[in-house]
Amino acid sequence: EVECSSAEEALAAAGAGADIVLLDNLAPQELHTVAAKVKAAHPGVTVEASGGIVLETLPQFLGPHIDVVSMGCLTHSAPALDFALRV
């Protein structure tokens, strides 16, 4: 998996053999444009959207060229659990 922030980076990563191209912190319109370019050139590559996506904006990031969406907001406020295993 390679994290990319531009079309050039994403196409280079896919061309170099990356299985997953993570498009990070792109506005929805740019995300869809870049994802379409990656899929056109490398149809077998998984395209992941990430960065600043919350439940309210999730629909804007879904599209035909997006395979996976990562949302850090799901874990940002998760409480910590302190435990030990003694054998």
Whole-angstrom Cα distance, residue 71 to residue 41?
26
The residue ranges of every structural domain in the chain are 2-74
Q: Please, what is the end-to-end C-alpha distance for the chain in angstroms?
A: 36
State the CB neighbour count (10 A cutoff) for residue 30: 14
pLDDT reading at 74 higher than 80: no
- The alpha carbon of residue 42 and the mean position of all alpha carbons in its chain are separated, in whole angstroms, by 16
Q: Which two tokens stand for residue 34?
A: 């870049």
CATH 3.20.20.70 fits 2-74, yes or no: yes
The pLDDT of residue 77: 72
Length of the chain: 87
What's this model's pTM, rounded to 2 decimal places?
A: 0.83
The pLDDT of residue 51: 92
% of the chain residues with pLDDT over 90: 77
The pLDDT of residue 73: 73
The pLDDT of residue 32: 98
Mean pLDDT, the chain, integer? 93
